[in-house]
């Protein structure tokens, strides 16, 4: 489950963001604390434009003071290809 972040720096201090997937490492001498920001963020982009995904990556990187060093963006596009064939006995088949 993704975690929401509300602790961005500078011009991003009033922003909140929740990624689709984050990797939030353990830090400290005995790895007992959680890092302030994730080091890896995945934004899937089902409902966002490519431009918005780039803005999100910039927010994660600059708003975290470069604490978030890897932002993975992927824009998914739903493409449905329908192909219909009719044979001699008027049976119609299709596939998605």
Predicted model pTM: 0.65
Residue 50 corresponds to which tokens in the numbers above?
A: 């490519």
| Span 40-66, pLDDT tens digits | 888 877 778 888 888 888 888 888 887
Beta strands in 1-96 (DSSP E): 4-5, 17-18, 21-23, 26-27, 33-34, 40-43, 70-73, 85-86, 92-93
The conformation of residue 22, written as its DSSP 8-state character, comes to E
Range of the domain at 68: 4-93
CB count within 10 Å of CB 41 equals 27
Residue 78 pLDDT: 55
Report the first-to-last Cα separation within the chain, whole angstroms.
31
**pLDDT band, very low/low/confident/very high, at 6 (cuts 50, 70, 90):** confident
- Per-residue pLDDT, averaged over 3-19, amounts to 87
Residue 83 pLDDT: 54
Work out how many domains the chain is built from and give that number.
1
For a pLDDT cut of 70, what percent of the chain falls above it?
74
């Amino acid at each position: 489950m993704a975690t929401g972040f509300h602790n961005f720096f500078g011009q991003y201090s009033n922003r909140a963001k929740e990624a689709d997937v984050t990797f939030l490492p353990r830090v400290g001498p005995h790895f007992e604390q959680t890092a302030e920001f994730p080091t890896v963020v995945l934004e899937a982009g089902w409902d966002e434009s490519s431009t918005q995904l780039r803005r999100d990556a910039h927010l994660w990187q600059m708003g975290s003071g470069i604490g978030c060093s890897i932002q993975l963006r992927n824009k998914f596009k739903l493409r449905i290809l329908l192909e219909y064939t009719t044979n001699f006995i008027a049976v119609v088949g299709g596939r998605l």
